[in-house]
Amino acid sequence: MKKTNKLNRRDFIRLSTFASAALPITLGGFRLFANDKPKEYQFSEDNENILVLVQLQGGNDGLNTVFNLNQYDNLQSVRSNIIIPEANLLSLDGETCFHPSFSGMKGIWNQEKLAVIQNVGYPDQNRSHFRSTDIWNSASPANEYISSGWLGRFFDENHGEYPENYPNTNNPHPFAITIGKVVSETCQGTSTNFSMAISDPSNPGTALVSNTGEIPANCYGETLDFVNKTIAQTNAYADIITNADNAGNNLSDKYENSNNNKLAGKLKNVAKLISGGLKTKVYIVQLGGFDNHDNQIIEGNLTEGKHSDLLKELSNAIAAFQEDLELLNIDKKVIGMTYSEFGRRIRSNGALGTDHGSAAPLFLFGTCAKNQVLGDAPEIDTQVDDQEGVQMQYDFRNVYSTILTDWLGATKQESTNVLFDEFVALPLFKEGCAAALSTNDFLLQELEIEVYPNPTINTVNIRFFGNNENIKITLYNSIGAVVKQVTNQKYNAIQQVLKVNIDSLPKGNYFVHYQTKGISKTKKLLKY
């Protein structure tokens, strides 16, 4: 798979300005890129499974969304000005709790249709909104720039000629739809975006093909020809979408009970299109406003404020959508996933807010989601520094890999090709609902890793048992940057002890991250 440097925003604006003199460039939300085609390999797309992505823009504060009572006192000591009182939390299992505004999500948990995946992030966390969003959308390593999106590459392999001659008899429906004005970069293929941006499915709109006479045989002519074909394609898809919207239905009254809930309105449209027979595989909706550096809560009323309002909108919208899918009897083929570019720092700031951090919880919802809290509670240290964020336990590409293989029908090799590396799947789906390839890969036994002495000055020992599988151990600093690759090799099924020299590292907090077949663990280390 070829990796290409991403067109920067300044160049995109410049090229778009040049083109706009003669071309309609909105194209119903299609983005235009011109990159080399990747090597050929095949996907299986013969299932009816649908993925709904809910993007939380701005960086959701996971520590103010999911609470662990064993860590609550320590969290209160570093977040006393914003923490939700324990008495107001919604308990899931006696140990894990939700924000009080998450009652809709708790209802889905009670129905055993919600997975909470703790501490999801990536190595070398970037705390820029734009760059970190690019990383999540493209599934690229933090130090590489890739112009295509992970779902765009998934579609591209069977449909490399797209949009030429699409829609067609075998593929009459859009591959992906973004409910909004701008297409999602998750669906950016190597030459065009597989997603259409639609604000109102009942009136998706059409555009006129430019008619400037004979098309010149030059770069401008090629662009004009591409634009004309894309407009014609958009118009053809518009009829399919309108028909599905007319044939579709909504049965849940929870939408009406979610007054002024724009996200609920977007998901209502998604449910209606699916029930109307649209075969689109991926839908994307977005909820912004999570970048709460100040006034995250209302002073004197810790359970209210901007973050509380956002969580209520998110929770109520998903609850209405899930109920609607069930009433429409289409729930078994739809899975939803939330994601955000990063979490927030552990210590709150003096402005009743939180700053850009690292990992955060991710939610997978739907009838086929395995009801569980996967992963460990974030470890909270009362001596946490101002820069420290929640450390990664699960790489988000492990989640993507699971969705590709267990839900969308890719083979393991195809998932590896799309994600540029092998990422072991996680047990996210109920057996009988999905391919459940992850069940075969996930090691269910408990794993103990000992890091000692801790605190330490010059060296640290890492003790673990091998499992005849490859084991990767990485040392991270407090902001999620890799400072040392300890090991990355196969170990026999006996006790192992690695002695690691950290004499050259500055004093402070570090994290030892252990990863093997289906298991990830993070241990905190303090160097004096």
Q: Is residue 36 part of a domain?
A: no
Tokens at residue 1, please?
């798979």
Domain end, chosen from 370, 396, 419, is at 419
What is the Cα 2 distance to its own chain's centre? 23
Position 3 pLDDT exceeds 80:
no
Position 121 pLDDT exceeds 60:
yes
Q: Which residue has the tokens 């002024």?
A: 260
Q: Is residue 32 part of a domain?
A: no
pLDDT the model gives residue 46: 65
Between CA 45 and CA 52, with CA 46 as vertex, the angle to 5 degrees is 60
Rounded Cα–Cα distance for residues 39 and 417 (Å): 10
CA dihedral of residues 233, 235, 238, 239 (deg, nearest 10)? -100
Rounded Cα–Cα distance for residues 438 and 431 (Å): 10
Q: What is the tally of helices (H) and strands (E) in the chain?
A: 12, 19
Between CA 60 and CA 68, with CA 62 as vertex, the angle to 5 degrees is 165
414 plus 277 within the same structural domain: yes
Rounded Cα–Cα distance for residues 181 and 299 (Å): 35
The answer to whether the beta carbons of residues 179 and 198 sit under 8 Å apart is: yes
pLDDT the model gives residue 211: 52
389 plus 458 within the same structural domain: no
335 plus 221 within the same structural domain: yes
Phi, psi (degrees; rounded to nearest 5) at 163: -95, 10
pLDDT the model gives residue 28: 37
Reported as a pLDDT band with limits 50, 70 and 90, residue 1 is very low
pLDDT the model gives residue 45: 52
Position 226 pLDDT exceeds 80:
no
Model pLDDT for residues 290-312, shown as the tens digit of each residue: 999 999 999 999 999 999 999 99
Q: What is the arithmetic mean of pLDDT over 152-158?
A: 91
The answer to whether the beta carbons of residues 375 and 117 sit under 8 Å apart is: yes
Reported as a pLDDT band with limits 50, 70 and 90, residue 279 is very high
pLDDT the model gives residue 436: 53
pLDDT the model gives residue 232: 73
387 plus 502 within the same structural domain: no
Position 479 pLDDT exceeds 80:
yes
pLDDT the model gives residue 2: 42
Reported as a pLDDT band with limits 50, 70 and 90, residue 31 is very low
Domain end, chosen from 419, 435, 458, is at 419
pLDDT the model gives residue 305: 97
283 plus 372 within the same structural domain: yes
Q: Please indicate whether residue 223 or residue 129 has the higher confidence score (pLDDT).
A: 129
141 Cβ contact list (under 8 Å, min separation 6) = 122, 123, 124, 135, 420
Phi, psi (degrees; rounded to nearest 5) at 482: -75, 125
Reported as a pLDDT band with limits 50, 70 and 90, residue 218 is confident
Rounded Cα–Cα distance for residues 445 and 448 (Å): 10
Instruction: Name the DSSP letter for residue 234.
Output: H
pLDDT the model gives residue 234: 75
341 plus 460 within the same structural domain: no
463 Cβ contact list (under 8 Å, min separation 6) = 449, 450, 451, 452, 495, 496, 497, 498
The answer to whether the beta carbons of residues 322 and 331 sit under 8 Å apart is: yes
pLDDT the model gives residue 10: 30
Q: What is the arithmetic mean of pLDDT over 489-493?
A: 94
pLDDT the model gives residue 207: 53
The sheet with strand 482-491 has its strands ordered as 482-491, 469-477, 508-516, 519-527
Rounded Cα–Cα distance for residues 380 and 120 (Å): 16
Between CA 33 and CA 43, with CA 39 as vertex, the angle to 5 degrees is 95
Position 116 pLDDT exceeds 60:
yes
Tally Cβ neighbours within 10 Å of residue 471.
22
Position 97 pLDDT exceeds 80:
yes
378 plus 479 within the same structural domain: no
329 plus 460 within the same structural domain: no
Total structural domains within the chain:
2
For the domain that residue 320 is a member of, what is the CATH number? 3.40.720
Q: What is the phi-psi region of residue 272: left when phi exceeds 0, alpha when psi lies from -120 to 50, beta otherwise?
A: alpha
What percent of the chain is predicted at pLDDT more than 70?
Answer: 84
Model pLDDT for residues 33-52, shown as the tens digit of each residue: 333 333 332 334 568 999 99
Domain end, chosen from 400, 419, 438, is at 419
Q: Is the dihedral of CA 427, 428, 430, 431 positive or negative?
A: negative
Tokens at residue 318, please?
């998903």
Tally Cβ neighbours within 10 Å of residue 10.
8
244 plus 392 within the same structural domain: yes
For the domain that residue 511 is a member of, what is the CATH number? 2.60.40.1930
Q: Which residue has the tokens 């998903």?
A: 318
332 plus 480 within the same structural domain: no
Rounded Cα–Cα distance for residues 365 and 115 (Å): 6
Q: What is the arithmetic mean of pLDDT over 349-355?
A: 97
454 plus 398 within the same structural domain: no
pLDDT the model gives residue 215: 66
Tokens at residue 519, please?
């298991």
Position 72 pLDDT exceeds 70:
yes
Domain that holds residue 263: 47-419
pLDDT the model gives residue 432: 83
Q: Is residue 442 part of a domain?
A: no
pLDDT the model gives residue 407: 96
Q: Is residue 315 part of a domain?
A: yes
399 plus 481 within the same structural domain: no
Q: Give the residue among 410, 403, 417 at the shortest CA–CA distance from 50.
A: 403
Query: Which range is least confidently modeled, 30-34, 412-416, 519-523?
Result: 30-34
pLDDT the model gives residue 42: 35
